[in-house]
Amino acid sequence: MDQVKSSRSNYHHLENIRSPLLINSSPSPLFRKFKTSLPTKIKYFNKGFFNVLVLGISFLILFSAFNILLFYFTEIRRRITASAIVLYSSLSGFSIVTPSIIKLFGLRTSIIVGAFLYALFVLSLSVEMAPVSYTMSTISGLGGSLLWIANGEILTRAANYYQRMAKKERNKMEIDHFNSAFTVIFFAIYQLNSLLGNLISTSMLKLSLGEFWLFLILFIISLFGIILLTPLRNISFHETITTIEYELPKPPSTRDRLLAIIANVLVYIKDTISVILSPKMILFSVIFFYSGYSIAFFYRVLPRVMQKHSNSFIVPWAIACFGLSEVVGSLLFGRLSDKIGKRPVMIATIIFHVLAISSSFATVYWPPSYITYFVPQIICGLADSGLNVVIYSVLGGTGDYFKYAKTSEAFSSFKIIQSLGVCIGIVFGTLFSVQTVQFTLAGVLFISILFYIALDWNFPIDGKRKIKKTRRCKQNNHLPHEPYF
């Protein structure tokens, strides 16, 4: 006790001998604001934020190699188009069982294995053997579903983990949700793959390497992206919630453990199917399909049109503008989503998609120029990034918006439908004219707008009706348990 009193007296003594400028003067409002926000900013660099940075940089490098195949090297390997169709079809099919695999083997293992299978797809194209390429395309579909569904779950857990840490630090009952912010950070880094891939492909084409060495170098580049996934920190489900849930004890015997695994797999598949067939997901499914169909148009159909109608000098710069606008759009729409809500951002995104389809006609029909190539690519990048931000914000939303345990199932439903849209978009772009693809894209967008109106009318994505219900429930001393999906 004497030591405690002496330490306190020393502390007060030090306080009394402060600088004369600080005596009898209160801190400025700016200093108080900085002091209040300082712990939160320090807490921002926890393992949740670290995982977001790791994911963004890893996906940036991995998809710089993968997207080069779709942009530049389809003429070198004719079967790349068919392999891409097989891959996205397989991705759509495997997505229904992927949540079960992720929950059995863990997020970190699943995303690393998925990235490695993606890299093997790149390597398989280095050999002039169609059976090998198509087999690896099918297997890589499983890898793609593992990669993207685990990515969505990791982003959601990272946001929920940080939200819980911030709530402890600031001791507030209600704080802002960070899912949109973390989604923005991830996509802002990831969308740079268009710029990095553009630089890599231009350098490789100038070296005049053989086909085998081109694909081998791309495989090595993708391996660097896989290695960057290894530092991912584990965030368990219990670290993202405020209540403690007790787990059942492990089965004592191997037979019981095997039966428990089989039972869990069946439960996971049942949960995935129930989410897919939920009314909200059915209404959202048309938007998911349009997202995939527009990806095939923005990333594959439109660049091929530019390559056919102009010299090779303008096209890389136009694609670079697309990638840069993706980055800017992710930052812009993510910030607006936090400030004004998801509904206004979704409406703005729809407007940008209308402008993107309209401006693409200038790229197709008008003579090649910087205006007819750069402006449509910038608008397309803004439209695509805005839709990605809104979808990820809704699927990974926190609080009453979404049930934590169903995040993987929701992202699984999203990847099933989106991959189907990408696959159909690639097929249409190969078999039909670009004008047909443009008009079908406009038709799907119109249907998506109708379904979005029905979705937001019955189940508001900003959850305003749920906020009123939450207040009523708090007055009655009980909490609501209605998730978004």
320-331: pLDDT as tens digits: 888 889 889 988
Fold of 46-232+252-475: Growth Hormone; Chain: A; (1.20.1250)
What is the structure's pLDDT at 178?
65
Confidence of residue 191 (pLDDT cuts 50, 70, 90): confident
Q: What is the pTM of this model?
A: 0.73
Contact 85/70 with Cβ under 8 angstroms?
no
Eight-class DSSP state of 298: I
* Maximum pairwise Cα distance, the chain: 88
Contact 407/396 with Cβ under 8 angstroms?
yes
Confidence of residue 359 (pLDDT cuts 50, 70, 90): very high
Buried-state track 21-32, b at ≥16 Cβ within 10 A, e below 16 = eeeeeeeeeeee
What is the structure's pLDDT at 4?
44
The answer for residues whose C-beta is within 8 angstroms of residue 260's C-beta and 6 or more apart is: 251
What would the DSSP string read from start to end of 406-473? GHHHHHHHHHHHHHHHHHHHHHHHHHS-HHHHHHHHHHHHHHHHHHHHHHHHHS-TT-HHHHHHHHHH
Q: What percent of the chain has pLDDT over 90?
A: 21
What is the structure's pLDDT at 206?
73
Q: CA-based Rg of the chain, rounded to a whole angstrom? A: 25
Q: How many CB atoms lie within 10 A of CB 307?
A: 18
Q: Distance between CA atoms of 204 and 71, rounded to whole angstroms?
A: 14
- The SS3 of residue 96 is coil
Q: Distance between CA atoms of 145 and 133, rounded to whole angstroms?
A: 18
Residue bearing the bigger pLDDT, 144 or 246: 144
Contact 182/158 with Cβ under 8 angstroms?
yes
Place of tokens 């670009």: 434
Q: Is the pLDDT of residue 442 over 80?
A: yes
What length does the chain have? 485
Domain ranges of the chain: 46-232+252-475
What is the structure's pLDDT at 247?
47
pLDDT tens, 336-354? 887 888 888 899 999 999 9
pLDDT tens, 100-122? 888 888 889 999 999 999 888 88
Of 160-169, 208-217, 342-351, the range with the highest mean pLDDT is 342-351
Q: For 170-178, what is the mean pLDDT? A: 44
Q: For 140-147, what is the mean pLDDT? A: 91
What is the structure's pLDDT at 403?
47
The answer for residues whose C-beta is within 8 angstroms of residue 357's C-beta and 6 or more apart is: 438, 441, 442, 445
Q: For 22-46, what is the mean pLDDT? A: 46
Q: Is the pLDDT of residue 173 over 50?
A: no
Tell how many helices (H) and how many strands (E) occur in the chain: 19, 0
What is the structure's pLDDT at 439?
94
